[in-house]
Amino acid sequence: MNFFEYRDGEMYADNVRVSEVAEQVGTPFYLYSTASLTYQFNQFKDAFGDLDLLICYAVKANTNQAVIKTLGDLGAGADVVSEGELRRALAAGIPAEKIVYSGVAKTESEMIFALENEIYQFNVESEPELYQLSEVASSLDKIADITFRVNPDVDAKTHAKISTGKSENKFGVPWTKVREICARAAELSGIKLVGLDLHIGSQITELDPFEEAFTRITGLIETLREDGHDITRLDLGGGLGIPYEGDDVPPLPREYAAMVKRVVSHLGCKIIIEPGRFLVGNAGILVSKVVYVKSGEKRKFLIIDAAMNDLVRPSMYDAYHRIDPVKESDEDSTLYDIVGPVCESGDTFATNRLVTPMKKDDLLAIRSVGAYGAVMASTYNTRKLIPEVLVKADEFAVVRPRPSYDDIIGLDQSAPWLSE
Ligand SMILES: *Cc1c(COP(=O)(O)O)cnc(C)c1O
């Protein structure tokens, strides 16, 4: 479903005219649709019917607290990967008993914070982490509920930088070692082993890799139960892909849910799923303005006021994003390279892209940027982080304002040996 549609030739987000937000907020900015977030969450949840399920939104995809709260109000828990994310999820009102903590390098102080807040579970990724957590929990007189993250050695068939379930990746415990490590965990005083988890990658567009991994982990749970462990939870991670290009057809939630139920229901475990991109990816656009139209020797460039520091996915993952004008036109489309102002040739959003003719000050929308967009932004080239705006029905609110230059430059401090 597309929640950024044209009406009378103008792009709308829910019932808000995109160009009106641009007039009031200034460009560039991220714009998120509450209707889209809601639709995605409910579609995902409804697909599972009456399965005993906890949906933990992987907040790293979009950590804006207004976004977390929107999903939290619909019933989502949170999957966090740092103390900072845990603090954000709590601040956004996600109850601690719906928060799972993933990540390969949880530090002692992060563990203390999470234990003091009594989160639902730790997804432990290695043996050293297990011992560290047991020690920290014991010293606080607490017992940490844990799952082990299994590395199932499955090829998720996605971009190498976001594939996480192969044996050469840094994530999880090799599936062949899980039995041994669980036996050790059972002897530790600060630990209660409650289940297993996995996460094989992101933007996965086929069901087969999921099914292969879920089948493997299901078998492991059966083995662990035979070994006498009381396994009650199974966390299947995130990773379900979304359409970026017009003809992409990733699996639908109902197909994904039907497969999950077929593979894991007989275990009777509580199922946890950690979708990130699926919930927020298509709920966001980045609105930017044409600064110059430049005719190069071979190409025509649309130079826009957004750059790779605002949205890094095209330069980092060679990601494709649809780019549409905010005002529709019936002129014939023409080929452009759409680029930002940053001093790198990698600062390119699209090459040889067909768009209707654009001129200085025209607005365009880069689509499907709700996930891994604003969260990966930086101030490279001393550019201000761009605002985030949330719309709901016919209202909009700036949910992260544009900082001032003083906010950015003022973070630096001089060193005593440098004269004033
Ligand atoms: C990133 C991540 C997710 C979410 O992945 P998506 O592809 O955005 O759904 C879920 N679980 C863990 C452990 C992650 O690292």
In angstroms, what is the span from residue 45 Cα to ligand 1's centroid?
A: 17
Q: Find the CATH number of the domain harbouring 115.
A: 3.20.20.10
pLDDT at 116: 98
In angstroms, what is the span from residue 126 Cα to ligand 1's centroid?
A: 18
Torsions phi, psi for 111 (to 5 deg): -60, -45
In angstroms, what is the span from residue 239 Cα to ligand 1's centroid?
A: 6
Distances 201 to 81, 237, 312 between C-alpha atoms, Å: 15, 9, 19
In angstroms, what is the span from residue 242 Cα to ligand 1's centroid?
A: 13
Query: In sequence order, what are the beta bridge partners of 126?
Result: none
pLDDT at 1: 77
- Of 231, 247, 279, the one marking the end of a domain is 279
Could you give the angle at which helices 178-185 and 208-226 cross, rounded to 10 degrees?
50
User: Would 420 be classed as within a structural domain?
Assistant: no
**Ligand 1 pocket: which residues have CB below 6 Å?**
58, 60-61, 79, 81, 102, 199, 202, 237-239, 274-278, 371
Are the beta carbons of 64 and 400 closer than 8 angstroms? yes
pLDDT at 298: 86
pLDDT higher than threshold 80 for residue 285: yes
Q: Average pLDDT over the chain, rounded to whole?
A: 96
pLDDT higher than threshold 90 for residue 46: yes
Are the beta carbons of 346 and 7 closer than 8 angstroms? no
User: Would 214 be classed as within a structural domain?
Assistant: yes
- Of 279, 305, 325, the one marking the end of a domain is 279
> Do 179 and 297 belong together in one domain?
no
Query: Hey, is 415 helix, strand or coil?
Result: coil
> Do 266 and 202 belong together in one domain?
yes
Distances 65 to 59, 71, 243, 283 between C-alpha atoms, Å: 9, 10, 25, 15
User: Which atom of ligand 1 is nearest to 278's Cα?
Assistant: 9
Are the beta carbons of 341 and 347 closer than 8 angstroms? yes
pLDDT at 248: 78
pLDDT at 246: 76
pLDDT higher than threshold 80 for residue 247: no
> Do 197 and 83 belong together in one domain?
yes
pLDDT at 273: 98
Residue range of the domain that includes 238: 34-279
> Do 82 and 14 belong together in one domain?
no
User: Which atom of ligand 1 is nearest to 371's Cα?
Assistant: 8
The stretch 168-183 carries a mean pLDDT of 92
User: Would 419 be classed as within a structural domain?
Assistant: no
Number of domains in the chain: 2
What b/e sequence results for 257-292 when a residue is b if at least 16 CB atoms lie within 10 Å of its CB, and e otherwise? bbbbbebbeebebebbbbbbbbbbbbbbbbbbbbbe
pLDDT tens digits, residue range 86-122? 999 999 999 999 999 999 999 999 999 999 999 999 9
DSSP letter string, 197-259: E---BSSB--SHHHHHHHHHHHHHHHHHHHTT----EEE----B----STT--PPPHHHHHHH
User: Of the residues 106, 202, 277, 313, which should be mutated to test ligand 1's pocket, given the most ligand atoms within 8 Å of the CB?
Assistant: 202
pLDDT higher than threshold 90 for residue 297: no
Are the beta carbons of 276 and 44 closer than 8 angstroms? no
> Do 263 and 294 belong together in one domain?
no
CA torsion through residues 199, 200, 201, 205, sign: negative
Burial label for 158, CB within 10 Å (0-12, 13-18, 19+), is buried
User: Of the residues 274, 313, 317, which should be mutated to test ligand 1's pocket, given the most ligand atoms within 8 Å of the CB?
Assistant: 274
- Strands 388-392, 10-13: parallel, antiparallel or unpaired by DSSP? unpaired
pLDDT at 302: 97
pLDDT at 165: 85
pLDDT tens digits, residue range 312-331? 999 999 999 999 999 999 99
pLDDT higher than threshold 80 for residue 420: no
User: Which atom of ligand 1 is nearest to 197's Cα?
Assistant: 13
pLDDT tens digits, residue range 353-366? 999 999 999 999 99
User: Would 119 be classed as within a structural domain?
Assistant: yes
Instruction: Let me know if 343 is a catalytic residue.
Output: yes
> Do 200 and 307 belong together in one domain?
no
pLDDT at 159: 86
> Do 120 and 245 belong together in one domain?
yes
User: Would 331 be classed as within a structural domain?
Assistant: yes
In angstroms, what is the span from residue 79 Cα to ligand 1's centroid?
A: 8
Which residue's CA is the closest to the ligand 1 atom numbered 3? Answer: 238
The stretch 67-76 carries a mean pLDDT of 98
For 228, the token pair is 């006498």
> Do 295 and 362 belong together in one domain?
yes
User: Of the residues 62, 63, 67, 79, which should be mutated to test ligand 1's pocket, given the most ligand atoms within 8 Å of the CB?
Assistant: 79
The stretch 49-60 carries a mean pLDDT of 97
User: Which atom of ligand 1 is nearest to 274's Cα?
Assistant: 10
User: Would 388 be classed as within a structural domain?
Assistant: yes
Query: In sequence order, what are the beta bridge partners of 354?
Result: 335
User: Would 414 be classed as within a structural domain?
Assistant: no
pLDDT at 132: 98
Q: In which band, very low, low, confident or very high, does the pLDDT at 168 lie, cut at 50, 70 and 90?
A: confident
In angstroms, what is the span from residue 300 Cα to ligand 1's centroid?
A: 38
> Do 150 and 195 belong together in one domain?
yes
Least confident of 2-6, 72-76, 142-146, 269-273: 2-6
pLDDT tens digits, residue range 389-403? 999 999 999 999 999
Element (H, E) at 70: helix 65-73
- Of 255, 279, 303, the one marking the end of a domain is 279
pLDDT higher than threshold 90 for residue 162: no
User: Which atom of ligand 1 is nearest to 241's Cα?
Assistant: 7
User: Which atom of ligand 1 is nearest to 201's Cα?
Assistant: 7
What's at 371, amino acid-wise? A
Closest CA to 45 of 80, 3, 2, 76: 76
Among the listed residues 56, 182, 269, 343, the single catalytic one is 343
pLDDT at 125: 95
Are the beta carbons of 420 and 40 closer than 8 angstroms? no
Indicate the length of the chain as a whole number: 420
pLDDT at 169: 86
> Do 94 and 213 belong together in one domain?
yes
User: Would 415 be classed as within a structural domain?
Assistant: no
> Do 109 and 27 belong together in one domain?
no
User: Which atom of ligand 1 is nearest to 60's Cα?
Assistant: 1
Q: Find the CATH number of the domain harbouring 398.
A: 2.40.37.10
Are the beta carbons of 63 and 85 closer than 8 angstroms? yes
The stretch 383-412 carries a mean pLDDT of 97
In angstroms, what is the span from residue 164 Cα to ligand 1's centroid?
A: 10
> Do 266 and 237 belong together in one domain?
yes
Q: What percent of the chain has pLDDT over 90?
A: 92
In angstroms, what is the span from residue 357 Cα to ligand 1's centroid?
A: 38
Least confident of 64-73, 171-180, 187-196: 171-180
